[in-house]
Amino acid sequence: MNPYYFASIALILIGLYAILAKRNVLKMLVGLSIMETGVNLLLISVGYVSGRSAPILSEGITPDRAVDPIPQALVLTAIVIGVATTAMALSVVINLYEKYKTLNVEEIRRLRG
Amino acid sequence: MSQYASLLIALPLFGAFFIPILKRISKSAVMPFLVLVTLIQTGIAAWVFNEVYITGKPIIIMAGGFRPPIGINLYIGHFAALFVLVIAVTSLLMTIFSFKAVSVEPKDKYAMLFLLLMLGATGMISTGDIFNLFVFMEITAISAYALIAYNKTGEASEAALKYIVLGGIGSSFFLVGVALIYGSLGTLNMAHIAQLAHLVNPTVAKAGLALLIFGLAVEAEQFPLNAWAPDAYQEAPHPVTAMFSAFVVKASLYAMGRVIYILSAVEGWSSILRLLIILGTLTVIIGEMSALRQNNVKRMFAYSSIAQVGLIAVGLALGTESGVSASVFHMFNHAIVKALMFLAVGYVAVELGGTEINKFEGLGKRMPVTAFAITVGAISIIGIPLFNIFWSKMQLILAALNAQYTWMVALILGASLVEATYYIRLIHTIWFKGEGEKVKESSVLALVMLLLVALIIVIGIYPEPFWNVMQKAGSDIFNVAQYIKNVPLMGVSP
């Protein structure tokens, strides 16, 4: 059993805890980022083979001596998407703070019912 | 020739990124350009629909000419051809509505996000690769976040933030599911996954599938993850609300159905169906109960939309071909009806300045065409015969009886009863309460509304040809063996 799996699941759970338990919007977004990092680590470790090098075609690196390249391509995409989501969320939070003058989620509750 | 179908993805993408250049040249040309792009998209979608239904063969587009599973492929089968057309037509109608309904600047950003939302939903429906599905889902989600917050009020930002947090959790779940399936099968192509599905360890496959369903449930508005939906529907610009209800939700539901059925060879697969039935049932009950006590009409329609989406999910999870076809029929009918109703409600909000129920008093005298449109939509949703939703609810009930779920009949009829309660209350308010002077209605929007009303009644009176199309679309999702055969996988066999 690969130790990276435990680390990545732990990161996902820490992020989920932060989203569910924290009251500050920015801390929730930090939790979201931690969760995304955990998922990315999980994807990378799915394709990891002990003792092999990065899948970059160069001297001495043949396909049978590199790790699986597909998860790395996936994670590259997932990181870009994560950055876009975080940027979007932060710009929404800026507008939210201007209108509500608070970052506490318990006070940001005008929509209900 | 059929490779031109890739323009369905390329055209909105290039259109969206051409808008900043166009804005430099002439700012007033942005909205007409949006009409032009959606019009061309509708033309291409109609051509693709015609092509797929006449030849009976799906259009497969291989990105870069690499055969799957090495390359990513688009799969435009009977379902995708139908819904790509629905998406394009709805977008076109909502573009026309946007001239009236969107007054907040910057409109060029609005047009860009509008095209990206359309692109994302089109991509989700037509992709044949599970990670590409994730990418299109995120394109849809990120443009949806931005469009919800577009009005720049505090409430709009609040609704967008709720959606961002839930959407972030959902996309992480989805990726974990992708990691589990990739880790056990070593492929991301849907047809290839379906081909190898009987080899996978059932526990891993079921956990992965459950995670994929939870990831998609955020966009598909299934119960534990749909808290964002009513807020977002209420605060988004009116055309965007109609687009959410008409096709963004439908794209996620389709994706859910697809990932469930490609793994149908997994041992103990029916437990996943039961999970989705429970989620869908709870969605229906909670949606209808919440709709009953709303004073804001737009929010009431949002809850009603959530309840209908629950019915669709239940139909998808019946595990029979007739259930899936009935779901597809309900998706199609609901798309038409909700596009009409959100358009009408949005138009009332533009003219009378709000969607609270007291604004609707005397609407029958003030805006007769709009009031007529809302009435026809409401009657149709309740499920009165001679209107389109009657037939899809009927098919759902028949499918449930065939699949031995007798209690589901009670669920569908009970939901219709609750709908009747709150919609008849609204109709009563519109026609029999209050007075007011007449507002001049825009003739273009009246024409659009009457067009949709006519479509509702035509399907209600002649359901047969439409039902035949829906059965083909449903079997496209259900019949996995045919799906595998249709995709030209490179010489790999288990």
Per CB-CB distance under 8 Å, the chain B contacts of A84 are 138, 142
Classify each residue of B156-191 as buried b or exposed e, where b means 16 or more C-beta atoms within 10 Å of its C-beta: bbbbbbbbbbbbbbbbbbbbbbbbbbbbbbebbbbb
Q: Is residue B158 part of a domain?
A: yes
pLDDT(B270) > 90: no
* C-alpha count within 13 angstroms, C-beta hemisphere, residue B456: 30
Nearest to B253 by CA among B319, B169, B328: B328
**In the structure encoding, which two tokens stand for residue B110, read together?**
């609005």
Confidence at residue A29, expressed as pLDDT on a 0 to 100 scale: 93
Q: How many CB atoms lie within 10 A of CB B53?
A: 15
B267 touches chain A (CB under 8 A): no
- CA of B151: which chain A residue's CA is closest? A95
* Band (A1; pLDDT cuts 50, 70, 90): low
The number of C-alpha atoms within 13 Å of A50 and in the hemisphere containing its C-beta is: 4
Say yes or no for a CB contact (<8 Å) between A36 and B172.
yes
Cβ-Cβ contacts under 8 Å for A13 (sequence gap 6 or more): A38
Q: What is the dihedral of CA B35, B40, B46, B50, to 10 degrees?
A: 170
How many domains does chain B fold into? 1
B138, closest residue in chain A (CA to CA): A81
Give me the percent of chain B exceeding a pLDDT of 70.
99
Select from B9, B272, B225 the least CA-distant residue to B135.
B9
Q: Judge whether B494 lies within some domain.
A: no
* Nearest of B336, B339, B345, B343 to residue B300 by alpha carbon: B345
For testing contact with chain B, the best of A1, A14, A46 (most B CBs within 10 A): A46
User: Is the model's pLDDT at B254 over the cut of 90?
Assistant: yes
Q: What is the pLDDT of residue B195?
A: 87
Residue B353 has pLDDT above 50, yes or no: yes
- Is the pLDDT at B248 greater than 80? The verdict is yes
The pLDDT tens digits of the residues spanning A27-55 come to 999 999 999 999 999 998 888 877 777 77
Decide if pLDDT at B494 tops 70. Answer: no
B167 falls within a domain: yes
Phi-psi region of A51 (alpha: psi -120 to 50; beta: other; left: phi over 0): left
Three-state DSSP class for residue B356: strand
Structural domains counted in chain A = 1
Q: Is residue A34, in this structure, part of any structural domain at all?
A: yes
* Interchain contact B155–A (C-beta under 8 A): yes
pLDDT at residue A112 above 80?
Answer: no
Which residues form the domain of B447? 2-486
Smallest Cβ–Cβ distance between A19 and the set B134, B152, B169 belongs to B169
Residue B291 domain flag: yes
* Residue B13 scores a pLDDT above 50: yes
Q: Do B155 and A111 touch (CB under 8 A)?
A: yes
Q: What per-residue confidence (pLDDT) applies to A113? A: 60
User: Of B386, B308, B385, B293, which Cα lies nearest the Cα of B341?
Assistant: B308
Does residue A40 form part of some domain?
yes
Query: How many CB atoms are closer than 10 A to CB B397?
Result: 17
B70 touches chain A (CB under 8 A): no
Of B305, B355, B293, the residue nearest B101 (C-alpha): B355
Each residue of B272-326: pLDDT tens digit? 899 999 999 999 999 999 988 888 899 999 999 999 999 999 999 988 889 999 9
Give the sign of the dihedral formed by CA B456, CA B462, CA B468, CA B471: positive
pLDDT band (50, 70, 90) for residue B225: confident
Q: Provide the domain limits for residue A92.
A: 3-49+65-100
Contacts 24+ apart (CB under 8 A), B444-448: B444/B96, B445/B96, B445/B97, B445/B100, B445/B343, B445/B347, B446/B369, B446/B370, B448/B93, B448/B96, B448/B97, B448/B343
pLDDT, tens digit, for every residue of B104-151?
A: 878 888 999 999 999 999 999 999 889 999 999 999 999 999 999 998
Q: What percent of chain B has pLDDT over 90?
A: 48
The beta-carbon neighbor of A28 closest among B135, B165, B178 is B165
pTM score of the predicted model:
0.93
B378 and B423 Cβ atoms separated by less than 8 Å: yes
Identify the closest residue of chain B to A43 by CA–CA distance.
B179
Q: Is residue B209 part of a domain?
A: yes
Tell me whether residue A85 is in a domain.
yes
B169 touches chain A (CB under 8 A): yes
If you average pLDDT over residues B321-334, what whole number do you get? 92
Confidence (pLDDT) at A57: 76
Digit-coded pLDDT (tens) for B386-438: 899 999 999 999 999 998 888 889 999 999 999 999 999 999 988 888 777 78
- What pLDDT score was predicted for residue B252? 92
Q: What is the pLDDT of residues B187-221, one digit of tens each?
A: 888 888 888 888 888 888 899 999 999 999 998 88
What whole-number distance in Å separates Cα of residue B29 and Cα of residue B31? 6
Q: Which residues pair with B74 in a beta bridge?
A: B61, B127
Contacts of B235 in chain A (CB under 8 A): 111
- Between residues B70 and B144, the one the model is more confident about: B144
Tell me whether B179 touches chain A (CB under 8 Å): yes
Digit-coded pLDDT (tens) for B24-45:
888 888 889 999 999 999 999 9
* Residue B276 included in any domain: yes
To the nearest whole Å, the CA of B298 is away from the closest chain A CA by 13
* Domain membership flag for residue B105: yes
- The answer to the question of residue B491 being in a domain is no
Q: B244: which DSSP letter? A: I
Tokens of B403: 């699949």
- Is B219 touching A (CB cutoff 8 A)? no
Give the DSSP H/E element, type plus range, for residue B482: helix B480-486
Residue A94 sits in a domain of what CATH number? 1.10.287.3510
Half-sphere exposure of B313 (CA within 13 A, CB side): 34
According to the model, what pLDDT value does residue B360 have?
83
Determine the pLDDT at residue A102.
85
The DSSP-derived string for A51-104 is: T-B-S---TT--GGGB--HHHHHHHHHHHHHHHHHHHHHHHHHHHHHHHHS--B
**B24: its two tokens:** 């430099």
Whether B493 has a pLDDT exceeding 60, the answer reads no
